[in-house]
């Protein structure tokens, strides 16, 4: 962040760049964690006898230090006017810090939109697991690798058949994001798999000169999908999409079928749900 800030200062002699340090210590979340963390850890220790895992404590400790000048900072100096700013170090953690999490989400969405997915149709497959498997995967995350490999093979085979192709002559790519909690911050390990759709390339609905031109518009939509937010309306795959094979259920409009009890099930109780993910420009 500091290096990026220095580059901005040197490249902007013709206009003024204003930098306002974020103050996490003034937020409600930081205050709650700061005031109640020790008591929370003590209560968990007394109730369970083992306490929280070490990596969970590290996440909380790193969050409390993130963006605080007292825990380290970079001094940034303008080459033109010699004005200096102090930029606090960030924790760069993945689990709890909203600032670092949002930054990583936006960067990941931009990379996917601009360098990976490009302008091809993409479908999302949401795969959730029964509670027993969620606990198992949380304790032994390495087991997710063979499970994901099998899931990718099944979905890729279905997509290739819909396109009239065979596995020996074609293959399809996928991007999978592992989400480890639900809307109630409960343990709910599930997978968001984005596979290339079988419909082929489509025309970009944001031609040069239009209001939606550029990666910025597409990045916003992708960031919303990556964060589990609302999914843009459009083709939902339920009425006009391809026939879903036995054991799979199409989630119209990106809605989670499990909320209405309509999710299909494979043998082994792995719930697999399907729905549209990103706009066609992604």
In a domain, 251, yes or no: yes
Between CA 56 and CA 25 the distance in angstroms is 20
Which of 241, 124, 121, 99 is CA-nearest to residue 179?
A: 124
Parallel, antiparallel or unpaired: strands 264-265 and 271-276: antiparallel
Residue 83 lies inside a defined structural domain of this protein: yes
pLDDT in tens, 241-260: 333 333 333 333 333 333 33
Could you tell me if residue 114 is inside a domain?
A: no
Cβ distance 206 to 97 under 8 Å? no
Q: What percentage of the chain has pLDDT greater than the value 70?
A: 64
Evaluate if residue 120 carries a pLDDT over 80.
no
Residue 4 pLDDT = 44
Domain tally, the chain: 2
- Verify that 170 and 245 share a domain, yes or no: yes
Structural domain for 152, as ranges? 119-206+225-276
Task: For residue 276, list its beta bridge partners.
Answer: 123
pLDDT over 80 at 115, yes or no: yes
Assess whether 75 and 22 both reside in one domain: yes
CB atoms within 10 A of CB 6: 17
pLDDT recorded at residue 210: 43
Pair 262, 135 in one domain: yes
158 and 59 belong to one structural domain: no
Whether residue 7 sits in one domain with residue 134:
no
Which of the four pLDDT bands, split at 50, 70 and 90, describes residue 199? low
Q: Structure pTM?
A: 0.54
Residue 19 and residue 75 in one domain: yes
Query: Quick check: 224 pLDDT over 70?
Result: no
Residue 240 confidence (pLDDT) above 60: no
The per-residue pLDDT for range 139-197, each reduced to its tens digit, is 898 999 999 999 999 998 888 888 888 888 887 888 898 888 888 778 899 999 988 87
Answer whether 88's CB lies under 8 Å from 73's CB: yes
Determine contact, residues 192/176, Cβ cutoff 8 Å: yes
Residue 15's pLDDT is 57
Domain for residue 8, yes or no?
yes
Q: Are 281 and 121 in contact (CB under 8 A)?
A: no
């Amino acid at each position: 962040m500091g290096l990026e800030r220095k580059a901005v200062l040197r490249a902007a002699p013709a206009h003024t760049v204003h930098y306002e340090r974020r103050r996490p210590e003034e937020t409600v979340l930081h205050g709650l964690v700061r005031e109640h963390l020790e008591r929370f850890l003590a209560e968990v220790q007394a109730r369970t006898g083992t306490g929280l895992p070490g990596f969970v404590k590290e996440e909380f400790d790193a969050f409390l230090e993130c963006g605080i000048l007292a825990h380290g900072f970079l001094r940034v100096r303008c080459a033109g006017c010699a004005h200096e700013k102090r930029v606090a170090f960030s924790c760069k953690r993945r689990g709890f810090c909203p600032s670092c999490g949002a930054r990583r989400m936006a960067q990941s969405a931009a990379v996917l939109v601009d360098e990976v997915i490009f302008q091809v149709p993409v479908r999302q497959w949401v795969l959730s697991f029964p509670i027993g498997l969620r606990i198992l995967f949380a304790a032994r995350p390495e087991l997710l690798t063979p499970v994901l490999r099998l899931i990718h093979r099944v979905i890729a085979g279905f997509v290739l058949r819909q396109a009239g192709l065979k596995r020996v002559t074609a293959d399809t790519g996928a991007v999978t994001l592992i989400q480890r909690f639900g809307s109630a911050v409960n343990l709910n390990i599930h997978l968001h798999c984005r596979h290339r759709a079988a419909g082929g390339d489509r025309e970009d609905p944001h031609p040069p000169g239009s209001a939606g031109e550029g990666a910025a518009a597409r990045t916003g939509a992708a960031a919303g999908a990556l964060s589990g937010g609302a999914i843009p309306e459009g083709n939902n795959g339920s009425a006009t999409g391809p026939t879903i094979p036995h054991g799979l259920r199409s989630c119209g409009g990106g809605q989670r079928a499990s909320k209405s009890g309509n999710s299909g099930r494979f043998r082994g109780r792995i719930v697999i749900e399907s729905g549209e993910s990103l706009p066609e420009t992604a």
